[in-house]
């Protein structure tokens, strides 16, 4: 078993820099990091979209240094892990957005842990999406306070029941407003000491739910219900960012607060995006180039545009450099500090190539396909879709309409060689390793394991996202979970289930130890109605009933947990409670 897994379960943040949690230094700047979800480069009025109203973000841009060519991953979790760690998500084994491949392992040092070691108060308010259980939660990764949700999306944006420091907490209002309220309280509470306030909003990610007045505004303008909901969520997001800026101003701390805004990937629909090709999930410019503004009044020149390419991996070293704190040295960073570019003092910025991969990870993450992948040089984008390579000269063809790979074979071959060398380096330590679910529980504590690895044959109802469940159309099918168990013990297991027939059985097994339960009651809950503007493409939501299965002895180390269920049963996941 990995020693690092044990360290992470014990609390990696405490081991990051022994004795380094120095007294708060007033001169250190506050950091307000704002991250939109599925918001594209073109979803801003200041970027030429005359159909939307974004005055707060337009104001930030005017007062900021803009990273004009800033790139992220094509989807949520990979971007978030790279942004918080300064390391490429492929190195972190954050390979996708579900099935356990979205989990950033607790032995990675995050921006929150580094700032906390430097005396900062740390809070996260929004969508985490890098692990739902210790040690990979927001609180396990360096945040003193967390209000939000840990999965890829939230089912209901109105009066949501969110997690607040581990406890389910009912709230009132639209979710973006609620998250902002939490961030405002945090900023006010910590305004006299350095704080790091990370607000990863879930707007404008589906499901398509939006405040009535704003939805009607964009509907009247002629937008489809989907785009009207998206633009309504973006305008509401902008209003809430305006509230955060007003709070900073009213507290008199604007000149000592770094505000950074970005998005986690390109737009999740075909809408205005500055003429770029592709959208969320794409390896072309439109899927990865997003807005990025960095404001620090009096320290960074308002209106400066940085044209050099930059990436999410650069955020951690840049913010730590601006804060005057050292970068973590437990593992090498992939990102660079951009401070000299932000301040205009760089005399010779070295040319670099940025790499990205999409949909990496086979079963359990043991097989990592080399392609599809892409490389962005200062002048070109190279894309390999798994069948052939494409090359675009972005100086003359920003819309990526003319493939010049055959006309520039030497350049295409060199970029491909660079990509393959990067891939080998990024996977050197993890290639072929099974992705394991860490069971980091103290006595009396509980965690939830969602349905994930379906190699046992159970069929998924949905797309593998949050709230999905597994069905068992015939006998002999199972769900399998690969576990990493730091401490052997007795665990009480319960299944979140529905059952339309009586007499069936659910059984759980680890090695030769097993326990089972007979189904003695019909459980067939209705789908929960939600205020959708269009039919959701995510799975519908319903309440699954807990059913105690029994107690299992689970040894220490790498284990495999298997769950079987008879036809007529649906399983959303398991809860494990450590007894001793």
- Among all residues, which ones are annotated catalytic? 76, 129
Establish how many alpha carbons lie within 13 A of residue 293's alpha carbon, considering only the half-sphere containing its beta carbon: 22
How many of the other CB atoms lie within 10 Å of CB of 410?
A: 7
Establish how many alpha carbons lie within 13 A of residue 562's alpha carbon, considering only the half-sphere containing its beta carbon: 13
d(CA 179, CA 476): 44
Relative to beta strand 505-510, strand 557-565 is antiparallel
Establish how many alpha carbons lie within 13 A of residue 359's alpha carbon, considering only the half-sphere containing its beta carbon: 11
Q: Take residue 403 and report the two structure tokens written for it.
A: 């493939």
Closest CA to 133 of 86, 96, 100, 164: 100
Q: In angstroms, how far is CA 162 from the centroid of its own chain?
A: 17
Q: Take residue 377 and report the two structure tokens written for it.
A: 């040089």
Sign of CA pseudo-dihedral 135, 138, 140, 141: positive
Backbone φ, ψ for residue 141 (5° rounding)? -110, 25
d(CA 186, CA 182): 6
The answer to whether the CB of 183 falls within 8 A of the CB of 259 is: no
Place of tokens 């491909």: 416
Establish how many alpha carbons lie within 13 A of residue 110's alpha carbon, considering only the half-sphere containing its beta carbon: 32
Asked if residue 372 has a cis previous peptide bond (ω within 30° of 0), the answer is yes
């Amino acid at each position: 078993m990995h020693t690092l897994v044990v360290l992470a379960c014990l609390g990696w943040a405490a081991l990051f820099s022994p004795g380094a949690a120095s007294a708060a230094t007033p001169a250190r700047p506050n950091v307000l990091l704002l991250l939109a979800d599925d918001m594209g480069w073109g979803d801003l009025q200041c970027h030429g979209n005359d159909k939307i109203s974004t005055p707060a973000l337009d104001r930030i841009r005017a007062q900021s240094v803009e990273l004009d060519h800033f790139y992220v991953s094509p989807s949520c979790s990979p971007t978030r892990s790279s942004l918080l760690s300064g390391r490429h998500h492929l190195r972190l084994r954050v390979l996708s957005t579900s099935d356990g491949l979205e989990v950033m392992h607790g032995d990675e040092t995050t921006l929150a842990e580094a700032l906390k070691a430097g005396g900062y108060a740390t809070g996260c308010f929004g969508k985490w999406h890098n692990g739902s259980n210790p040690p990979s939660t927001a609180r396990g990764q360096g945040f003193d306070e967390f209000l939000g949700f840990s999965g890829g999306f939230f089912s209901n944006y109105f009066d949501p029941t969110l997690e607040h420091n581990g406890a389910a907490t009912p709230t009132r209002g639209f979710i973006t407003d609620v998250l902002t309220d939490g961030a405002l309280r945090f900023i006010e509470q910590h305004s006299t000491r350095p704080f790091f306030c990370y607000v990863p909003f879930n707007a404008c990610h589906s499901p398509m739910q939006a405040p009535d007045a704003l939805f009607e505004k964009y509907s009247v303008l002629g937008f489809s219900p989907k785009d009207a909901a998206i633009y309504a969520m973006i305008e509401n997001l902008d209003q809430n960012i305006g509230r955060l800026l007003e709070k900073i101003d009213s507290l008199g701390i604007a000149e000592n607060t770094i505000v950074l805004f970005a998005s986690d990937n390109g737009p999740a629909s075909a809408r205005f995006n500055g003429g770029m090709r592709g959208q969320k999930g794409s390896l072309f410019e439109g899927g990865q180039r997003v807005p990025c503004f960095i404001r620090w009044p009096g320290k960074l020149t308002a209106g400066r545009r940085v044209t050099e390419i930059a990436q999410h991996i650069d955020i951690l070293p840049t913010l730590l450099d601006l804060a005057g704190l050292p970068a973590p040295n437990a593992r090498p960073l992939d990102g660079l500090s951009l401070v000299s570019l932000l301040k205009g003092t760089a005399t010779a910025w070295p040319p670099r190539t940025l790499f990205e991969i999409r949909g990496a990870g086979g079963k359990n993450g043991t097989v990592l396909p080399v392609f599809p992948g892409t490389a962005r040089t200062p002048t070109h984008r190279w894309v390999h879709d798994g069948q052939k390579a494409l090359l675009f000269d972005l100086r003359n063809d920003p819309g990526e309409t003319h493939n010049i790979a055959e006309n520039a074979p030497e350049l295409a071959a060199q970029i491909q060689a660079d990509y393959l060398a990067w891939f080998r380096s990024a996977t050197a330590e993890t290639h072929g390793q099974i992705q394991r679910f860490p069971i980091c529980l103290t006595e009396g504590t509980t965690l939830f394991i969602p349905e994930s690895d379906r190699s046992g044959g159970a069929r998924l109802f949905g797309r593998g996202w949050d709230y999905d469940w597994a069905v068992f159309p015939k006998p002999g099918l199972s769900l399998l979970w690969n576990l990493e168990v730091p401490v052997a013990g007795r665990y009480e297991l319960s299944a979140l289930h529905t059952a339309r027939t009586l007499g069936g059985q659910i059984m759980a097994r680890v090695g030769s130890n097993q326990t089972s339960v007979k189904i003695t009651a019909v459980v067939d809950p209705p789908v929960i109605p939600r205020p959708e503007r269009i039919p959701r493409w995510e799975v519908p939501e319903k309440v699954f009933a807990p059913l105690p299965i029994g107690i299992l002895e689970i040894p220490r180390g790498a284990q495999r947990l298997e769950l079987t269920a008879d036809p007529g049963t649906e399983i959303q996941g398991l809860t494990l409670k450590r007894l001793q």
